[in-house]
Amino acid sequence: MANVSIKFNGKEFLLSCEDGQEEHLEELLIQINQKFNNLKNELGNLGENKLLLITAVKVMDEYYETKKKVDQKKNELRDLSNKFKELKTLIYEYRDKKELEINSLNKDHLKLKNEIEINQKSYEKLIDEAADEISSFVEKANLENISK
């Protein structure tokens, strides 16, 4: 344990604290001393006990207001976190849905491509057959013209 000598309201006090916490204790006491002196200047000398009580009440009021704000911010952060989780879930659901749609479109595209290839081969066969028939017809017509 470390000992810290402080001056409060013109009096010296020796306080103990954990090793390494001396500066922190001094900072706290500076803040309390400032609040005490500000109240003393504002309200006059009401007596040390009453001023200490009012100082303690003001410090506790600030503490509870700060605690209330911290709790409110924690709640807001929790709400934001929940909304973020909801959004994340929606994003993953949307992504999964779009992947299914893309897969379906890819299958449809492949099916259409295969149908086009099949139809192209059928049309080529029809064109070849028609060309053969036309050639045959022309040959017959030429032979008939020659024989006449």
Per-residue pLDDT of 51-98, as tens digits, reads: 999 999 999 999 999 999 999 999 999 999 999 999 999 999 999 999
**Confidence at residue 22, expressed as pLDDT on a 0 to 100 scale:** 93
Q: Is 130 helix (H, G, I), strand (E, B) or coil?
A: helix
Is the pLDDT reported for residue 45 higher than 70? yes
Calpha distance 141→132 (Å, rounded): 14
Is the pLDDT reported for residue 135 higher than 70? yes
User: Which DSSP letter does residue 12 get?
Assistant: E
What is the bridge-based pairing of β-strands 11-17 and 2-8? antiparallel
Q: DSSP E strands: which ranges in the chain?
A: 2-8, 11-17
Put simply, whether the predicted model's pTM sits higher than 0.95 gets the answer no
Calpha distance 143→127 (Å, rounded): 24
130 confidence band (pLDDT: 50, 70, 90)? very high
